[in-house]
Amino acid sequence: MDRETRDMLLETADRFFTERCGRDVVNGVEKGIWPADLWKEIEEMGLPLIAVPEDKGGVDGTFADMLALLRLAGSHAVPVPLAETALANLLIAAAGGEPKPGPATLALGTLSLSGGRVSGKVERVPFASVADRFVVVAGNTLAVVARDNVEIDDTPTHAGEPYGTVSFDNAASELSGASAVSAERAVELAAVMRAMQMAGAADKVLATAVEYCKQRVQFGRPISTFQAIQQMLAELASYVAATIASAEAAARDADEGGLGDGGSFSIAAAKSQASEFAQRIAAIAHQSMGAMGFTHEHILHHYTRRLWVWRRDFGSETFWGAKIGAAYAKAGPDALWVSLSGSKYAA
């Protein structure tokens, strides 16, 4: 979609999330209450179909449009699998299928798939217990498995989101076809998606801490007027800036390079970067907000806890770091600068 259309969509979505994704809804999901109305409205707006072509009933946006929307969703802690469903639908459409309504998620792991039947187990599948269907990629085949055909062991995260271990035992699929992406690539696409959500959450953490410190009065003046606090928040801003900049660069590279392999290195670097700074961001924000930010009542934890969970999703800094490090070591010192300046694994 063109820039203007995207901006308009983001503006509408921003207003919608602000109105409909308040604290109570987010806390409700943590208690196991599925916000059916919220999901219905999200579907009515077409958001889970943002990157699905028009001829398959979608909004016809690009991967970059989808990522921009998900960064925004990250800054609202949207407690439903919008990101997972949007990517699942994109992959289904790219494999020739037509996405169905309802929440979906990605079960990315080592699975076997033959004759349309899936076997294996995937841990930490986001929103496993509320998803209607699971998208899996094995070899070069994509399959969609309905929830009735899998077993789910709930393992809620420390952000209270309904993750789970999903077991496939020769599970029948409702769709299987040639995948547009490899299993490895599916993880990369999910990683850049999470990195963008982390950028949104990081942005919100900074805004929340700054706003709080400007209002909180101690010793007779707003604590934002103390140099100690100013220096802390400026440092926080630097980590937030790094998270935003790396995620946006990876999103750009992924989009421009194409679904198949665009921005492979940039995605690895961005997810490593976002995961590495998640703790620094959370630590400074909490320190600046004192006991108030440590309560369940305040919204800060909606974002800091998600940052802690998301840094492990689809590869932590250790996972992506090891991948980059192994490639750079293998290529040797003379290739270092050429690879890095070219945003590539090897020159």
Partner 1 sequence: MSIPKLEFPPFHLPAEAEALREEVRAFLKETLPAVKSEDRFPSWNTRSPEFSRAMGKKGWIGITWPKKYGGSERSFLERYVITEELLGNGAPAGAHWVADRQSGPLLLRFGNEEQRQAILPRITAGECYFSIGMSEPDSGSDLASVRTRAEPVPGGFRVNGTKVWTSGAHKNHYCIALVRTSGQHGDRHKGLSQLLVDLKTPGVTIRPIINLAGRHDWNEVTFSDAFIPESCLIGDEGDGWLQVTSELAFERSGPERFMQNFYILRELVRVLGRQPATRAAAILGRLVARLWTLRQMSVAVAGMMQGGKSPAIEAALVKDLGTIYQQDLPEIARTIAESDATTEEDMADFLDVAQYATMMAPSYTIQGGTTQVLRGIVARGLGLR
Q: Is residue 121 a contact residue for partner 1 (CB under 8 A)?
A: no
Query: Quick one: 17 or 328, whose CB is closer to partner 1?
Result: 328
Coil vs helix vs strand at 121:
strand
State how beta strands 133-138 and 104-106 pair: parallel
Distance CA 344, CA 347 (A): 6
Q: State the CB neighbour count (10 A cutoff) for residue 197.
A: 27
Kindly state the number of chain residues that form the binding site for partner 1, as judged by CB under 8 A: 58
Which residues in 235-254 contact partner 1 (CB under 8 A)? 235, 237-242, 244-246, 248-249, 251-253
Query: How deeply is 211 buried, as exposed, middle or buried, from its count of CB atoms within 10 A (0-12, 13-18, 19+)?
Result: exposed
Please say which residue, 8 or 326, places its beta carbon nearer to partner 1. 326
Q: Write the DSSP symbol of residue 296.
A: S
**CB-wise, 28 or 257, nearer to partner 1?**
257
Question: By C-alpha distance, which of 300, 282, 295 is closest to 236?
Answer: 282
Query: What is the C-alpha to C-alpha distance for residues 78 and 16, in angstroms, rounded to an integer?
Result: 11
Is the CB of 146 or the CB of 241 nearer to partner 1? 241
* Under rule CB under 8 A, residue 347 binds partner 1: no
- For residue 193, the minimal CB distance to partner 1 (Å) is 16
Among 89, 264, 273, 304, binds partner 1 (CB under 8 A): 273
For partner 1, give the closer residue by CB, 167 or 339: 339
Sign of CA dihedral 326, 332, 334, 335: negative
Residue closer to partner 1, measured from CB, 55 or 227 = 227
Who's near 222: CB < 8 A, 6+ residues apart? 213, 214, 215, 216
Which one, 117 or 252, has the nearer CB to partner 1?
Answer: 252
What is the β-pairing status of strands 164-172 and 175-178? unpaired
Hey, what are 132's tokens?
A: 């209607």
The reply on whether position 67 binds partner 1 by CB under 8 A is no
Least distance from C-beta 336 to partner 1, angstroms? 5
Interacting span for partner 1 (CB under 8 A) from 105-113, 130-138, 175-183, 268-276 = 268-276
Q: Which two tokens stand for residue 139?
A: 């070899």
Cα radius of gyration (the chain):
20
Nearer of residues 146 and 237 to partner 1, judged by Cβ:
237
The CA distance from 76 to 201, in Å, is 7
Kindly state the smallest distance separating residue 53's Cβ from partner 1, in Å: 25
Instruction: Tell me the C-alpha distance between 225 and 206, whole Å.
Output: 17
Q: Tokens 């990683």 identify what position? A: 191
* Residues 151-190 as x/- pattern, contact with partner 1 by CB under 8 A: ----------------------------------------
Residue from 207, 217, 292, 346 touching partner 1 (CB under 8 A): that is 207
Q: Which residues bind partner 1 (CB under 8 A)?
A: 203, 206-208, 210-211, 213-214, 224-225, 227, 229-231, 233-235, 237-242, 244-246, 248-249, 251-253, 266, 268-270, 272-273, 276, 317-326, 328-330, 332-333, 336-337, 340-341, 343
